[in-house]
Amino acid sequence: MASDQDLVVETVRDILTGFEPFVLTPERRWDEGLWSALAEAGLTGVGLPEEAGGSGGELADAVAIVRTLAAGAAAVPVAEQLLVAGPALVAADLDLPSPEEPMTFAVADAVTVHPVDNGDGPGRFTVNGTVTDLAWAGVASHVVLLAPASAGSDGALLALVHVADLEATDAFNLAGEPRGSLVLDQVAATGALLSAAQAQELRARFALARAVQLAAALEQVLAWTVQYAGERQQFGRPLGKFQAIQMELAEMAGEVTAVTALTDAAVQALDRGSADVVLAAAAAKVRAGAAVEVVARLAHQVHGAIGFTQEHKLHHLTRRLWSWRDEAGSDLAWSRVLGAGLLAGPDDFWPALTRVV
């Protein structure tokens, strides 16, 4: 993104350097110290309006923070909070929890949300059911859920639940990030009804958040691999002097550049409120996911055996890449959304394509 974000990037980097690399284990599910430092600096509310309790700033600022933290393999729910859950609450005119309390997002097809009249006026609900594959389960204090609306309605319900007291199951993605389940039994929620289109835009936001993280992590993996190829000597010269290695690094660079170009364009589409933001986000997610296979494979190939161990830092990002590409909607799911969406409109295929980004 543009250089306007340089300052925020520097701030985040300065904070990051104060923390040891965080090795996720079932006992250590997130980097609480890093989160506190980010929250203290107001960075966990960036892009959310000040009048709603956020720190203000633009979408581009929030994206820059998410990118920097993703490249740093930071174990904190910033992408979910700044790019998905927070903006969803603001758009639905619901009260934001304090940005210092970690918040996550889930598409929860298996929960039911019922309106209740407890005398506090409209917008009060009770939530029942199990939220599965929940990012930062057991870590986040609040979850913003996208749940099916009651039968007969084609919209969806957006519900904010406080879950700090609930126990999550032990389940983790390939990188060890918590992805457990949460059982909600008569849990009180504030909420709002979304149209089907709004619900799909929110799913797309989630996918785009992962695409932004993927783009940043892919760039970083390329940078690490270029650096390693320049430093590691074999047969009397750096690996990077071998043509075979150069071809692999160039192929990685092509993939990374493609992902960055499309992800930036999709973020801009979101920023200007494009009517095609769902397809733009789908495309960014699918393209980033496709790059993961090439970039992670070649990064490990160039790093050799040391990169295949937990001694070396590479796994912090490659394991995230392998997980993120199928989170927030799988590669297959978003490929179908994109293909079907391009075919569905009134236009021929080419005009539909050129309209997306």
Partner 1 sequence: MGALYNRAGNHHNDVGSHMSNSLTLAPAPRSDAAEQVRAEVREFLAAELAAGSFETHVDTWLGGVDPAFSKKLGERGWLGMTWPKEYGGHERSAMERYAVTEELLSAGAPVAAHWIADRQSGPNLLKFGTEKQRREILPRIAAGECFFVIGMSEPDSGSDLASIRTRAARNGDGDWVVNGAKVWTSNAHHSHYGIFLVRTSPSDSANRHAGMSQLLVDLSLPGITINPIRILDGGHHFNEVVFDDVVVPGDMLLGEEGNGWHQVTAELAFERSGPERFLSTYPLVAEFARRVGDSGDPAAVATLGRISARLLALRQMSLRIAAALDRGELPNIPAALVKDVGTTFEADVIEEIRKVVDVTPSLDSPDPLGRALAEAQLHAPGYTLRGGTNEILRGIVARGLGLR
Q: Contacts with partner 1 in 296-335 (CB under 8 A)?
A: 306, 311-313, 316-317, 332, 334-335
Considering the complex, state which of residue 201 and residue 255 has its C-beta at the smaller distance from partner 1. Answer: 255
C-beta of 183: minimal distance to partner 1 in Å? 33
- Contacts with partner 1, 70-109, as mask; x by CB under 8 A: -xxxx-----------------------------------
C-beta of 239: minimal distance to partner 1 in Å? 9
C-beta of 357: minimal distance to partner 1 in Å? 6
| Phi-psi label, residue 2: left if phi above 0, alpha if psi -120 to 50, beta otherwise | beta
Chain positions 11 to 40 lying near partner 1, rule: CB under 8 A, are: 13, 16-17, 19-21
Residue selected from 162, 258, 293, 322 as contacting partner 1 according to rule CB under 8 A: 258
C-beta of 164: minimal distance to partner 1 in Å? 28
Chain positions 37 to 76 lying near partner 1, rule: CB under 8 A, are: 68, 71-74
3-class DSSP state for residue 314? helix
The two structure tokens encoding residue 201: 């835009």
- 74, 99, 71, 69: which is closest to 85 by C-alpha? 99
At position 8, the amino acid (one-letter code) is V
Considering the complex, state which of residue 212 and residue 282 has its C-beta at the smaller distance from partner 1. Answer: 282
Helix (H) or strand (E) holding 300: helix 277-303
The Cα 267–Cα 184 span in angstroms is: 33
| Exposure string over 132-145, b if 16+ CB within 10 A, otherwise e | bebbbbbbbbbbbb
The Cα 157–Cα 296 span in angstroms is: 37
Considering the complex, state which of residue 182 and residue 280 has its C-beta at the smaller distance from partner 1. Answer: 280
Under 8 Å between Cβ of 135 and 177: yes
Chain positions 333 to 352 lying near partner 1, rule: CB under 8 A, are: 334-340, 342-343, 349-351
Report how many residues bind partner 1 under the rule CB under 8 A.
Answer: 71
Residue selected from 261, 293, 300, 322 as contacting partner 1 according to rule CB under 8 A: 261
Secondary structure, 3-state, 166-225: CCECCCECCCCCECCCEEEEEEEEEEEEECHHHHHHHHHHHHHHHHHHHHHHHHHHHHHH
Considering the complex, state which of residue 179 and residue 316 has its C-beta at the smaller distance from partner 1. Answer: 316
Considering the complex, state which of residue 115 and residue 345 has its C-beta at the smaller distance from partner 1. Answer: 345
